[in-house]
Amino acid sequence: MTKLRLAIVGAGPAGIYAADLLLKAERKFDVSIDLFEQLPAPYGLVRYGVAPDHPRIKGIINALRDVLDRGDIRLFGNVRFGEDITLDDLKRHYNAVIFATGAVRDTSLDIPGIDALGSYGAADYVSWFDGHPDVPREWPLDAASVGVIGNGNVALDVSRMLAKHAEDLLVTEVPRNVYEGMKNSAVTDVHVFGRRGPAQVKFTPLELRELGELRDVDMVVYDEDFDYDEASKDAVASNKQVMVIDRVLQSWRKLDSVNNAGGTASRRLHLHFWAKPVEVRKDEQGRVAALVYERTKSDGAGGAVGTGEMREIPMQALYRAIGYFGSPLPDVPFDKKHGVIPNREGQVLETKSNQRVPGIYATGWIKRGPVGLIGHTKSDAMETVRHLINDQGSWWRPEQPEEEAIPALLQERGVLWTDLDGWHRLDAHEIALGEPEGRARIKVVPRDEMVRVSRD
Ligand code: NAP
């Protein structure tokens, strides 16, 4: 029987779902899958993007672990594509590759002053509070007033993780350095800016409601933002999700803290709608001093237009949570404008000619851009896998398809790779670290320590 030797680059949900679907699919050939991951641990965004106080979403890891534990997928962690293993290597050893490398960078925002000290991308802060090994251990939380640009779920994650009291994270897997950093936070006010109105937000009701449940944090909304035009009224009436979001926001208009009056909590989380950022003001040291925004109004069709009225809120730190962006991979086509690998239903295309590149596939956020919840990645993977199966005639013909060739190659290059048994060791180690404190786990953060525990 023919055998498909498949490499998947990226061991997040997209890569693992693709492996699972391929192994379960009806097909006329055997499959052997090697999963390459640049981090020493698997699960990508679920481990390093989902906030530690979201255990329900983190629970997706259990389903992903079941796939890996079935025993028919090999994991090679701590292996960087393009450095430790290249596209030419993959062509020599496999019939095809699926890239599932996600989107982990922040989209840039082109406004004056965005380069100020204290102006950050949300993705970097998320990586810090989720214990990503490749970001510094310390995060400056010395600002009393902080801005967050964007009205998506990442903006809410970031706002919540800025406003939340550190002690309330102790029930989670939050790394020790993150707890210590947050304990000393000087924050009193978090200002969230949406360039459109309350009926046009991208975040979801559950995530919004959660903000109102934060201990010792007052929600502040402003009456002037709720003067709905027909387009907003229609959106509230016709979309259940918008209806619930509106209900939650309206309930906050009844609080003592509305319009920033009254309120007794030590921290406040302000939601500003119809606010388009135009400039970051800097102080003499080049640090963030204020965000200047233009008040917008509805364009009658769900969009917003400027009113010309400028406003300014003083702050000492600013986070932009306006979307993630994919990163290019060596020797793989890349669409610089959209931050994705150009593809047709997961079959990768040449950037200029739009011709199919045989043997190369994409799935997840690097295929379709950083939109949709983790579950959406499954249908995405199904589409990619269907093409991979049907394309049997155009697969690569590897010179060295033997499975032993890969560990030998990595060994020869001095790569300290981690495997599935190693991940089990690290997993058990983290769980044991959490036990004395009654916590489910405490994450190990430094890369060398992760590798050491895994390869012990
Ligand atoms: P997103 O949902 O696309 O939201 C991006 C936000 O940034 C939008 O409000 C957008 O406004 C705004 N924006 C974009 N460009 C802007 C600009 N130049 N100036 C001002 N605002 C700008 O992206 P995301 O928050 O990064 O989330 C990515 C995906 O992950 C989403 O599917 C999200 O639901 C998911 N996610 C889920 C969870 C969860 O379930 N708890 C947590 C995190 C992320 P416009 O709408 O006006 O463009």
Place 373 in a pLDDT band, splitting at 50, 70 and 90.
confident
User: In this structure, are 284 and 183 located in the same domain?
Assistant: yes
Range of the domain at 284: 112-320
Cα of 322 vs centre of ligand 1, distance in Å, is 5
Cα of 155 vs centre of ligand 1, distance in Å, is 7
109 CA closest ligand 1 atom index: 18
Q: Please say whether the beta carbons of 449 and 416 come within 8 A.
A: no
54 CA closest ligand 1 atom index: 41
User: In this structure, are 225 and 130 located in the same domain?
Assistant: yes
**CATH code, domain with 220:** 3.50.50.60
Give how many domains the chain has, as a whole number.
2
Instruction: Compute the average pLDDT of residues 202-211.
Output: 97
Cα of 200 vs centre of ligand 1, distance in Å, is 11
Is 24 strand, coil or helix?
helix
User: In this structure, are 75 and 131 located in the same domain?
Assistant: no
User: In this structure, are 232 and 204 located in the same domain?
Assistant: yes
| CA 298/CA 136 separation, integer angstroms | 41
Asked if residue 431 belongs to a domain, the reply is: no
Asked if residue 260 belongs to a domain, the reply is: yes
- The pLDDT tens digits of the residues spanning 396-406 come to 999 999 999 99
Extract the tokens encoding 40.
């020493």
Ligand 1: residues whose CB is within 6 Å?
A: 54, 57, 109, 149-155, 157, 194-196, 202, 207, 277, 321-324, 370-373
Place 161 in a pLDDT band, splitting at 50, 70 and 90.
very high
User: In this structure, are 309 and 251 located in the same domain?
Assistant: yes
Asked if residue 202 belongs to a domain, the reply is: yes
- The pLDDT tens digits of the residues spanning 72-130 come to 999 999 999 999 999 999 999 999 999 999 999 999 999 999 999 999 999 999 999 99
Boundary-marking domain end, from 257, 288, 320: 320
Query: From atom 2 of ligand 1, which residue's Cα is the shortest distance away?
Result: 152
Q: Is 372 annotated as a binding residue?
A: yes
Asked if residue 153 belongs to a domain, the reply is: yes
Asked if residue 408 belongs to a domain, the reply is: yes
User: In this structure, are 80 and 223 located in the same domain?
Assistant: no
3-state secondary structure 414-429: CCCCECHHHHHHHHHH
202 CA closest ligand 1 atom index: 2
Boundary-marking domain end, from 274, 296, 320: 320
Q: Please say whether the beta carbons of 303 and 232 come within 8 A.
A: no
Residue with tokens 């793989």: 332
Boundary-marking domain end, from 320, 350, 373: 320
Cα of 86 vs centre of ligand 1, distance in Å, is 33
Instruction: Compute the average pLDDT of residues 271-279.
Output: 98
Q: Please say whether the beta carbons of 381 and 364 come within 8 A.
A: yes
User: In this structure, are 316 and 390 located in the same domain?
Assistant: no
| CA 251/CA 194 separation, integer angstroms | 19
Look at residue 293 in the predicted model and tell me its pLDDT.
98
**CATH code, domain with 18:** 3.40.50.720
Asked if residue 433 belongs to a domain, the reply is: no
User: In this structure, are 159 and 308 located in the same domain?
Assistant: yes
| CA 15/CA 380 separation, integer angstroms | 11
β-strand pairing of 73-76 with 304-314: unpaired
H helix intervals, 274-375: 365-368
Asked if residue 436 belongs to a domain, the reply is: no
| CA 12/CA 99 separation, integer angstroms | 11
Instruction: Compute the average pLDDT of residues 420-444.
Output: 94
Look at residue 215 in the predicted model and tell me its pLDDT.
98
| CA 439/CA 3 separation, integer angstroms | 44
| In the chain, % of residues over pLDDT 90 | 95
User: In this structure, are 213 and 139 located in the same domain?
Assistant: yes
Place 375 in a pLDDT band, splitting at 50, 70 and 90.
confident
User: In this structure, are 196 and 309 located in the same domain?
Assistant: yes
Query: From atom 9 of ligand 1, which residue's Cα is the shortest distance away?
Result: 151
Cα of 323 vs centre of ligand 1, distance in Å, is 5
Asked if residue 439 belongs to a domain, the reply is: no
Look at residue 1 in the predicted model and tell me its pLDDT.
72
User: In this structure, are 89 and 158 located in the same domain?
Assistant: no
User: In this structure, are 189 and 303 located in the same domain?
Assistant: yes
Mean per-residue pLDDT over the chain, rounded: 96
Look at residue 372 in the predicted model and tell me its pLDDT.
86
pLDDT tops 80 at residue 438: yes
Query: From atom 7 of ligand 1, which residue's Cα is the shortest distance away?
Result: 322
pLDDT tops 90 at residue 12: yes
Q: Is 393 annotated as a binding residue?
A: no
Query: From atom 28 of ligand 1, which residue's Cα is the shortest distance away?
Result: 371
Look at residue 185 in the predicted model and tell me its pLDDT.
98
Q: Give the C-alpha distances (Å, rounded to integers) separating 282 from 186, 201, 287, 289.
A: 20, 29, 5, 5
Look at residue 381 in the predicted model and tell me its pLDDT.
97
Place 2 in a pLDDT band, splitting at 50, 70 and 90.
confident
Cα of 103 vs centre of ligand 1, distance in Å, is 13
Pocket test for ligand 1, best of 45, 126, 195, 200 (most atoms within 8 A of CB): 195
Instruction: Compute the average pLDDT of residues 429-438.
Output: 94
